[in-house]
Homo-oligomer: A and B are copies of this chain.
Amino acid sequence: MKQQAVDDRRLLALPALLLGGAGTLMQAIHEGVEQRGFTGVRPAHGFAFVRLAPDGASIAEVAEHLGVTKQAASQLVEELLRRGYVRVEPHPRDARAKLVTLTERGWACTRAADEAALEAVRAWAGELGVDRVEELAADLARVARPGRLRPLW
């Protein structure tokens, strides 16, 4: 039990660091995307792009992915449509649904986000070394169950 207490103290630092690191990273990505000329894009949009990227998705699928209601997803998609990041077509297999896919501008924004993220992580690799960063990623991959990629809580 005493050993347990010691371990606890060693473990207690991680949550704050993880939350802080994620916040820092998100901020860096957000700023990087803006600097590359994609203004008015919120992180929630970026998380939506992840789901839309491969082959598009329905609004309900976007909602499920973000962990919000269909109404919220619908609004978000409409905003992305207005800004030219996505196109919305009738779904080929379901007349009730709409198929939302990225436009070229949407893809460009996605690439910009990747670049911005990479820029931040490259700085870390310079500090820790590429191998250490890769280990970090491997460790996280084992513990971070990729549930919903929610913007927030």
A136 touching B134 in the complex, CB below 8 Å, given contacts A11-B118, A13-B141, A21-B143? no
Whether B17 lies near A144 (C-beta < 8 A) is yes
CB proximity of A10 to chain B, nearest CB, Å: 5
Whether A18 lies near B17 (C-beta < 8 A) is no
Partner of A29, one of B15, B117, B118: B15
Whether A147 lies near B11 (C-beta < 8 A) is no
Whether A150 lies near B21 (C-beta < 8 A) is no
Q: Which residues on the B side are within 8 Å of A142 (C-beta)?
A: 127-128
Q: Which residues on the B side are within 8 Å of A20 (C-beta)?
A: 140, 144, 146-147, 149
Chain A interface SS verdict (over half): helix
Bound CA span A10–B133, Å: 9
CB-based nearest B residue for A120: B15
Whether A11 lies near B134 (C-beta < 8 A) is yes
Whether A121 lies near B15 (C-beta < 8 A) is yes
Q: Which residues on the B side are within 8 Å of A147 (C-beta)?
A: 20, 23-24, 27
Whether A19 lies near B25 (C-beta < 8 A) is yes
Q: Which residues on the B side are within 8 Å of A145 (C-beta)?
A: 24
